[in-house]
Structure 1
Amino acid sequence: MRIGYARVSTADQNLDLQRNALLAAGCQRIVEESGGGAAAVRPGLARLMDMLRQDDAVVVWRLDRLGRSLSHLIALAREIEARGAALVSLTESLDTASPGGRLVFHVFAALAEFERGLIRERTMAGLAAARARGRLGGRPKRLDAARRAAAVALYRERRVPVAEICRLFHISKPTLYAYVREEKEGPGGGARPAEQP
């Protein structure tokens, strides 16, 4: 069975163009949805995936109607393929039931993986360059040096409960323990200090 999937980004857009193209392509059922492509939850897409069976085909007017990004589109195509179905895009003339269509999609997947690798490489190079300039990654400290020292001093005196120290300085227990650890071992070192009441 050919199952169409039509999506518009906003409620005021019209599905007629996609619906007509999907009907002309022989879709027996059409799942329609409105909402941005970046939306994490798409009930229509989930419904479509539930109804997919072996030898079915998911038909879309254009690939950007299905996936919110290239990596998401590739993940969906793999899920469709794992169910024994095919993906057909009318605008891009793509049909993963054919060897040529599968080849095109594998090229897409390879390009997406290449792009992820480049991003990872650039990120690591940027972090290394920042470290070489003496900058450490991570979130800025919640407290300045004087207030950190005061919180640690209260902790070391063991007269004020940890929960009260955290409340006074508006920090969490893990943050307090991190400050104690840093004072003892230097930034990033040492084991977590023993909890106290």
Structure 2
Amino acid sequence: MLIGYARVSTLDQNPNLQTDALKQAGCEKIFKDKISGTTADRPGLAKVKEVLRKGDTLVVWRLDRLGRSLKNLLEWMMWLDQEGIALKSLQENIDTTTSTGKLVFHIFGALAEFERNLIQERTQAGLTSARARGKVGGRPKKLNTDKKALAIKLYNEKELSVDKICEMVGVAKPTLYRYIRASNN
């Protein structure tokens, strides 16, 4: 099934140009939003996501009607691919039901992966640099050494419940169990 999505940025704009093109392309259902593309919460687009099923094709007048940024557009394309849904953009002439459209789609995917890898590399370089300057990352430890030893001792004595021990030292159960596991290694 061809499902169309049209969006205009302001209330005084008219989506007729887009909806006419979507109807001409054969869309059986068309969802619309009159909202800025920078807004993440778009009711029409949320409805599109609910309605789309494997084998359907999402049709947009232009790609910028779908995504509010390149990152957002790439996220949409990855979601569509995972769900087995094709994408067709009328103005850019992209149709992932064709070989050329699939190529363009995969180029977008490769760019997204490249961007993720660059972010990981920059993050690792930043962490390495911080460590070289003596900075330690991560969340501070919940308990100091003495409180940790007390919690482990109370747990091993088996006189108090786990809930009571957690309440006394001020940690959640998973944290207590993590300290217990670390002490047994």
What interval of TM-score do these two structures reach, taking the shorter chain for normalisation?
A: 0.5 to 0.7
The residue that corresponds to 2:89 in the other structure is 88
Query: How far apart, CA to CA, are the structure 1 residues paired with 2:90 and 2:79?
Result: 13
The residue that corresponds to 1:141 in the other structure is 141
Question: Which amino acid in structure 2 is aligned with residue 94 of structure 1?
Answer: N
Partner of residue 78 from structure 1, selected from 76, 81, 102: 81
Query: How far apart, CA to CA, are the structure 2 residues paired with 1:2 and 1:180?
Result: 56
Question: TM-score, normalized by length of structure 1?
Answer: 0.64
Q: Name the CA shift for 1:19/1:76 in 2 (closer, same or farther; >3 Å).
A: farther
The residue that corresponds to 1:194 in the other structure is none
The residue that corresponds to 2:162 in the other structure is 162
> Please, which runs of 5 or more residues in structure 1 have no aligned partner?
191-197
The residue that corresponds to 2:31 in the other structure is 31
State the secondary structure of the residue aligned to 1:87: strand
Asked whether the 8 Å contact 1:18–1:61 carries over to 2, the reply is: no
Question: TM-score, normalized by length of structure 2?
Answer: 0.67
Structure 1 position 43 matched with structure 2 position 47? yes
Question: Which amino acid in structure 2 is aligned with residue 78 of structure 1?
Answer: D
Query: How far apart, CA to CA, are the structure 1 residues paired with 2:87 and 2:157?
Result: 67
Question: Which amino acid in structure 1 is aligned with residue 58 of structure 2?
Answer: V
Asked whether the 8 Å contact 2:62–2:90 carries over to 1, the reply is: yes
Q: Name the CA shift for 1:86/1:156 in 2 (closer, same or farther; >3 Å).
A: closer
Structure 1 position 14 matched with structure 2 position 11? yes
**CA shift at 1:143, angstroms?**
2.9
Question: Which amino acid in structure 2 is aligned with residue 63 of structure 1?
Answer: L
**CA shift at 1:154, angstroms?**
3.0
Q: Name the CA shift for 1:136/1:158 in 2 (closer, same or farther; >3 Å).
A: farther
The residue that corresponds to 1:176 in the other structure is 176
Asked whether the 8 Å contact 2:8–2:14 carries over to 1, the reply is: no
**CA shift at 1:125, angstroms?**
3.1
Query: How far apart, CA to CA, are the structure 2 residues paired with 1:61 and 1:89?
Result: 5
State the secondary structure of the residue aligned to 2:3: strand
Q: Name the CA shift for 1:161/1:117 in 2 (closer, same or farther; >3 Å).
A: same
> Please, which runs of 5 or more residues in structure 2 have no aligned partner?
none
Asked whether the 8 Å contact 1:6–1:33 carries over to 2, the reply is: yes
**CA shift at 1:115, angstroms?**
0.6
Residue deviations 1:132-174 (CA, integer Å, cap 9, x gap) = 5555543222234443343334334443322211122231222
Q: Give the aligned CA root-mean-square deviation in angstroms.
A: 3.7
Query: How far apart, CA to CA, are the structure 2 residues paired with 1:180 and 1:52?
Result: 50
Query: How far apart, CA to CA, are the structure 1 residues paired with 2:135 and 2:11?
Result: 51
Asked whether the 8 Å contact 1:22–1:60 carries over to 2, the reply is: no
Query: How far apart, CA to CA, are the structure 2 residues paired with 1:178 and 1:138?
Result: 16
Question: Which amino acid in structure 2 is aligned with residue 140 of structure 1?
Answer: P
